């Protein structure tokens, strides 16, 4: 593996980490808050059976919608694409359109969110299918899923940056510091 390839993987891992830890923290916080809120709502209104199940489904739907908005907001806020320094090289990440026309900030955020997430989903679903076909051992599956989340996330970020598809791309610019 060349130094250039190592640098590419490090940059991909850092960009993935910037996105992943924020989404994980929001997911944990959201599950705690909305789990408590749905329990309170069900208890307050004395729902049982099917009514309680429907309320839980609606709170889950609200949570997933908030997670979607937050995920797009991370890209809109440029929290992932801010500059970084790797091995003494300053790397600037910009979002550009293939034809050179300016990109609206909301379009950038949606394109970044979609560009990463469809690749990540594809890798995760394929990896999960392979992992499930190989073993049924729960301990191996848990470790495999965790590795799949991390390695699949870094791989999908690398895939998006260095093998782009579509009209909007992430471009890395290196400057020695």
Give percent above pLDDT 70 in the chain: 99
Give percent above pLDDT 90 in the chain: 68
Predicted pLDDT of residue 177:
55
The string of pLDDT tens digits covering residues 3-40 is 889 999 999 999 999 999 999 999 999 999 988 888 88
| Contact between 83 and 92 (Cβ < 8 Å) | yes
Asked whether the predicted pLDDT for residue 176 surpasses 80, the reply is no
Predicted pLDDT of residue 12:
96
Q: Cα–Cα distance between 95 and 105 in angstroms, integer? A: 10
Q: Cα–Cα distance between 50 and 67 in angstroms, integer? A: 25
Predicted pLDDT of residue 40:
85
Report CA-CA distances (Å) from 3 to 8, 10, 86, 164, 170.
9, 10, 12, 21, 21
Model confidence at 130, pLDDT cuts 50, 70, 90, reads very high
Structure tokens belonging to residue 99: 């034809």
Predicted pLDDT of residue 37:
86
DSSP 82-140: S-EEETTEEEEEEEEETT-----HHHHHHHHHHHHHHHHHHHHHHHHHHHHHH---HHH
């Amino acid at each position: 593996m060349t130094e250039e390839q190592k640098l590419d993987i490090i940059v991909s891992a850092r960009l993935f980490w910037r996105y992943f830890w924020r989404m994980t923290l929001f997911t944990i916080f959201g599950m705690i808050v909305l789990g408590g809120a749905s329990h309170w709502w069900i208890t307050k209104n004395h729902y049982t059976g099917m009514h309680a199940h429907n309320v839980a489904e609606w709170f889950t739907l609200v949570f997933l919608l908030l997670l979607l908005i937050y995920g797009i907001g991370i890209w809109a806020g440029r929290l992932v694409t801010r500059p970084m320094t790797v091995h003494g090289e300053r790397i600037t990440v910009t979002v550009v359109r293939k034809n050179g026309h300016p990109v609206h900030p909301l379009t950038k955020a949606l394109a970044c969110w979609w560009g990463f997430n469809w690749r990540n989903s594809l890798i995760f679903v394929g990896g999960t299918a392979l992992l499930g076909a190989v073993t049924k051992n729960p301990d191996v599956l848990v470790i495999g899923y965790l590795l799949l989340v991390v390695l699949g996330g870094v791989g999908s970020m690398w895939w998006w940056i260095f093998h782009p598809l579509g009209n909007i791309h992430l471009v890395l610019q290196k400057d020695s510091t």
